[in-house]
Amino acid sequence: MTSLWHRLVSLGRSLYARIALVYLTGLLLLSAAVAWFATSQFDQLGRELQQRQEVGLADNLAGVMAPALRAGADSERARETARHIVSINPSLSLYVLDAGGRVIADYAEPTCGLGSRVAPASLEALLDDEPMLPVLADSPCSGQPGVFSVARIAYGPSETPGYLYADLNNASHTSMTAMLRTSSITRTLVAAGLLALGLSGLLGLLWFGLLTRRFSRLTSVVQRFADGEYQARIAEPRSDEIGQLGRAFNDMAGTIEAQLAALRETDRQRRELVANLSHDFRTPLTSLRGYVEQLQRREPLSDEERRVALTAIFDNAERLTRLARQLSTLARLDAYDHPLRREPFALAELAHDIAGKFQPQAERLGVTLSVDVDPALPWVDADLGLIDRALSNLIDNALIAASPEGRAWLEGEATEQGVRIRVSDDGEGIAAADLPLVTQRFYRTAASRARGEGSGLGLSIVREICERHGTTLDVDSREGKGTTVTLTLPRSRSIVTNV
C-alpha cells in the first residue's frame, strides 16, 4: 500500500501529470465555453426563426383590429377584439404604442405594461424592407429583451399614427424550451460533443504520454551520465526541439568527456613532472653534497682538487638555477588566463644583449658565440620577457650542443611575415627519429641523457612561447652537421624600423 502511494505521489509530481492536468482543464473550459456559445447561438437562432415566421403577424392583426381601433386604442370594442385574438393564441401579448413608443393600450389581463416605453429604433428596424433578424426590444411588461412583431396603425377618430405591438417572448420561450427538451437534433449534438470531448481527452493523454516518454529516456541517459557512465549518449535524436536538446546533451557530454580525458592526461603529466623533477634535482644536489663533504674533510686538499670541487659546485648550482628558471617560465606559460604583455621592441638589440650575457659561458665552454643581426631590422610586437626567455633557452642549448672549440651563432632577417631569427650550432645534431619529439616536455635525446645534460624543458618552453604568439618553431638538424632553430615574430605596426 505504501509503495502504491509513493508511485501515485511520484506520478502526480511528474511532468506528464502536470501537462495532462493543464490539458484536461483547458479542454473542459474550452468545451464549457463552446457549449455556452452554442446554446446562446441556438437560442438566438430560435428567436430568429420565431420572429421570421411571425414577422407579418402584427400587420395581419392590425387589419383585423382596424375598425375597432377607430373607436380608440383603449375603447371597449378594441379590447373585445383583442381578447378574441388572445383567446385564439394565449401566448400572445398585444399593445398599442404611440408614435414615441409609449404603451397607451395594454390588452393583457391584468395589465402590466401601460405607460412603459419601447425603443422606436427597434420598431423601425423591424419595419425596414430587409431587417437583420432577430430584432430585439424590451418587453413592456417584463423589461427583458425579446422578439416581437409590429405594424403601423392609425387609432382614434382623428386617426393618430402609432404601432400595434405583438410581444412574442412567451411563445418563443415556450418553443425553445420544448425544442431543447424534445429535439433529436439537440440530443445528437450533445452526444457528439461528449464523444468528441472524450476522444480529444484520450488522444491528448496518449500523445502527451509519448512525448514525455522521450523526456524520460533523456532523463535516464542524463542520470547515467551523472552516475559516471560518461559514454552515455542519446541515440539518433530527431530534428524537433527534444531532438535538439538531445544533440545539445550529446555535444556537452562529448566536451565533458574530452575535458575529463584532458584532466587525466594532465594528471599523468603532473606525476611524470614530479618524477622527472625529483630526478633532475636529485642528481645535482647529490653531486653538490659530495663535493661539499669533500671540502669539509680535515685533511687539506690541493689547489687543483679544490679548484675542481668548486668548479663542480658552481656547475651544479648553475644547473639548478637554470632548471628553476625554466620551471618558473613553464608555470607562467601554463597560466593561460594571464595575457601576453605585447609591446614593440627592437629584436636586434635584444639578440645582442642576450648574446652578451652568454659570452662568459661560451668562453668557459670554449665555444665561439657570434651575432649576425642587422640593427636596422624592423621592430617586432611581442612579449619582451617571454621572447627573452625563448632566445636565452635557444642560445643555452646551442652552446651546450656545440662541438668543442666549435661555434654557435644568431642570424636575423626581415621577411613578409615579420622578422625571422635563427639560432644555430655546429654540434652533433639530432637524430631524425628524435626531431618530432624534441619539443615535448621532458624529452631528452639519447646523447643528452648519456651526457647527463639538459632537463627536457628548453625547447618545449620555446615552442609554447611561439604558440602563444601565434607563430611556429622550426627545428632543422642533421647528425654530424649541427642544429638550426628558427622562429618568426610579427612586425610592430607602430615602429617599423630601428634607425
Say if residue 358 is in the same domain as residue 466: yes
User: pLDDT digits over 111-138, tens only?
Assistant: 788 888 999 999 889 888 888 888 888 8
pLDDT at 152: 92
Into how many domains does the chain fold? 4
- Degrees, nearest 5: CA angle 105-110-112: 60
Please give the Cα distance from 140 to 28 (Å, whole number).
39
pLDDT at 182: 63
pLDDT at 474: 87
Other CB atoms within 10 A of residue 416 CB: 5
At residue 116, what are phi and psi to the nearest 5 degrees?
A: -75, 165
Residue 371 Rama label (left phi>0; alpha psi -120 to 50; beta): beta
pLDDT at 4: 54
Domain stop point among 338, 355, 383: 338
Say if residue 454 is in the same domain as residue 345: yes
User: Is 339 exposed, middle or buried, given 0-12, 13-18 or 19+ CB atoms closer than 10 A?
Assistant: exposed
DSSP label at residue 300: P
Say if residue 311 is in the same domain as residue 358: no
Distances (CA, A) of 411 to 56, 348, 467: 117, 9, 21
Please give the Cα distance from 423 to 484 (Å, whole number).
6
Say if residue 328 is in the same domain as residue 349: no
Q: Domain limits at 42?
A: 2-47+183-216
Please give the Cα distance from 261 to 259 (Å, whole number).
5
Say if residue 355 is in the same domain as residue 433: yes
For residue 90, being part of any structural domain is answered with yes
Say if residue 289 is in the same domain as residue 330: yes
Say if residue 175 is in the same domain as residue 190: no
Say if residue 326 is in the same domain as residue 454: no
pLDDT at 498: 45
For residue 298, being part of any structural domain is answered with yes
Q: Which residues pair with 380 in a beta bridge?
A: 345, 491
Nearest to 69 by CA among 50, 45, 95, 41: 95
Distances (CA, A) of 268 to 178, 265, 273: 91, 5, 8
CATH number of the domain to which 299 belongs:
1.10.287.130
Residue listed under C-alpha cell 476522444 = 199
Residues 458-464: contacts with CB under 8 Å, at least 24 apart: 458/326, 458/393, 458/394, 458/396, 458/397, 459/393, 459/397, 459/485, 460/330, 461/326, 461/329, 461/330, 461/333, 461/389, 461/390, 461/393, 462/390, 462/393, 462/394, 462/487, 463/439, 464/330, 464/333
For residue 349, being part of any structural domain is answered with yes
Quote the cell numbers at residue 483. 642544429
Across the chain, which has 499 residues, the per-10-residue mean pLDDT values are 55 65 80 78 77 85 88 86 84 88 85 86 88 88 86 89 86 54 71 82 77 76 83 77 80 85 74 64 73 70 74 75 66 59 89 89 88 89 87 86 87 88 87 75 59 62 84 85 89 61
CATH number of the domain to which 412 belongs:
3.30.565.10
Nearest to 426 by CA among 473, 366, 372, 367: 367
For residue 478, being part of any structural domain is answered with yes
What is 262-279 written as a DSSP string?
A: HHHHHHHHHHHHHHHHHH
Quote the cell numbers at residue 340. 601576453
For residue 494, being part of any structural domain is answered with no
For residue 226, being part of any structural domain is answered with no
CATH number of the domain to which 61 belongs:
3.30.450.20
For residue 355, being part of any structural domain is answered with yes
Sign of the CA dihedral 373, 378, 381, 385? positive
Say if residue 356 is in the same domain as residue 326: no
Say if residue 161 is in the same domain as residue 288: no
pLDDT at 499: 40
End-to-end CA distance of the chain: 94
Please give the Cα distance from 439 to 459 (Å, whole number).
5
pLDDT at 497: 46
For residue 440, being part of any structural domain is answered with yes
Domain stop point among 288, 314, 338: 338
DSSP label at residue 436: G
Say if residue 210 is in the same domain as residue 259: no
What's at 451, amino acid-wise? Answer: R
Domain stop point among 338, 356, 380: 338
Say if residue 256 is in the same domain as residue 401: no
Q: Which residues pair with 477 in a beta bridge?
A: 483
The helix or strand, by DSSP H or E, that contains position 380, with its residue range, turns out to be strand 380-383
